Amino acid sequence: MDIACGSGANALYLAERGLHVDAWDISDVVVSHLENRHPRLYPRALDITAAAIENSRYDLILTCHYLDPSLAKAIVRATHPGGLIIYQTFTAGKKADIGPRNPDFLLKPGQLESFVSGCRVLRFEDGTDIVDQGNPMAGRAYIIAQKNIDQ
Ligand SMILES: C[S@@+](CC[C@H](N)C(=O)[O-])C[C@H]1O[C@@H](n2cnc3c(N)ncnc32)[C@H](O)[C@@H]1O
């Protein structure tokens, strides 16, 4: 599942590697561009709420450059035990002049870890201090976590 997939670069990347990918976004326009792009890609236009995702189950849920803390618990619930949860977005303390300015859309310290509370953190990287905008980590943090088998 690619949450708020936008133009779908990540969703397509995963579909091309053999995953069946739900690619959801509120924008009809971006979703219409993903129609028929790949046989394993399932685009859908909707306002993503916790209720919209929590009854589904996925091996991997990715949320990139989108921040809605109200989804965090539903994302863990919707991940299969042993499955992966990935978040990447901009941080509130970012030194690079990049990404949104509205603090509601920026990660607070510790927020990514709180989203995957109870899961095993496999990797975490914080590029808050990176100013070189050519660096894909500039002003961003990401986390990759695995839901426990018994969770
Ligand atoms: C900055 S883009 C990120 C796109 C993509 N994930 C990426 O990393 O390139 C944020 C996306 O969130 C979508 N979005 C905003 N609010 C949403 C909502 N309530 N439900 C679903 N998608 C939403 C927007 O339409 C936009 O495509």
Q: Has residue 133 been placed in a domain?
A: yes
Name the residue of 1, 31, 66, 90 to mutate for ligand 1: max ligand atoms within 8 A of Cβ: 66
Q: Characterise 110 by phi-psi region: left (phi > 0), alpha (psi -120 to 50), beta (else).
A: left
The parent domain of residue 26 ranges over: 2-146
* pLDDT recorded at residue 54: 86
* pLDDT recorded at residue 55: 87
Rounded Cα distance, 71 and 34, in Å? 23
Q: Has residue 33 been placed in a domain?
A: yes
Expressed in angstroms and rounded, the spacing between residue 95 Cα and the centre of ligand 1 is: 23
Expressed in angstroms and rounded, the spacing between residue 70 Cα and the centre of ligand 1 is: 15
Q: Has residue 151 been placed in a domain?
A: no
Q: Has residue 28 been placed in a domain?
A: yes
Q: Has residue 50 been placed in a domain?
A: yes
Structure tokens at 89: 């977005």
Taking the CA atoms of the chain, what radius of gyration do you get in angstroms? 15
Write out pLDDT tens, residues 42-78.
999 999 999 999 889 999 999 999 999 999 999 999 9
Confidence of residue 99 (pLDDT cuts 50, 70, 90): very high
Residue nearest atom 16 in ligand 1 by C-alpha distance: 26
CATH assignment of the domain containing 121? 3.40.50.150
Output the CA torsion 111→61→84→112 (10° steps): -10
Instruction: Evaluate if residue 144 carries a pLDDT over 90.
Output: yes
Instruction: Evaluate if residue 35 carries a pLDDT over 90.
Output: yes
Q: What is the DSSP string of 65-130?
A: S---GGGHHHHHHTEEEEEEEEEEEEBTT--SS-S---GGGSBPTTHHHHHTTTSEEEEEEE-TT-
Expressed in angstroms and rounded, the spacing between residue 60 Cα and the centre of ligand 1 is: 18
Whole-model pTM?
0.96
Rounded Cα distance, 121 and 124, in Å? 7
Helix (H) or strand (E) holding 2: strand 2-3
Average pLDDT over the chain, rounded to an integer: 97
Count the domains in the chain.
1
Residue nearest atom 9 in ligand 1 by C-alpha distance: 6
Q: Has residue 104 been placed in a domain?
A: yes
The torsion angles phi and psi of 47, rounded to 5 degrees, stand at -80, 115
* pLDDT recorded at residue 14: 98
Q: Has residue 96 been placed in a domain?
A: yes
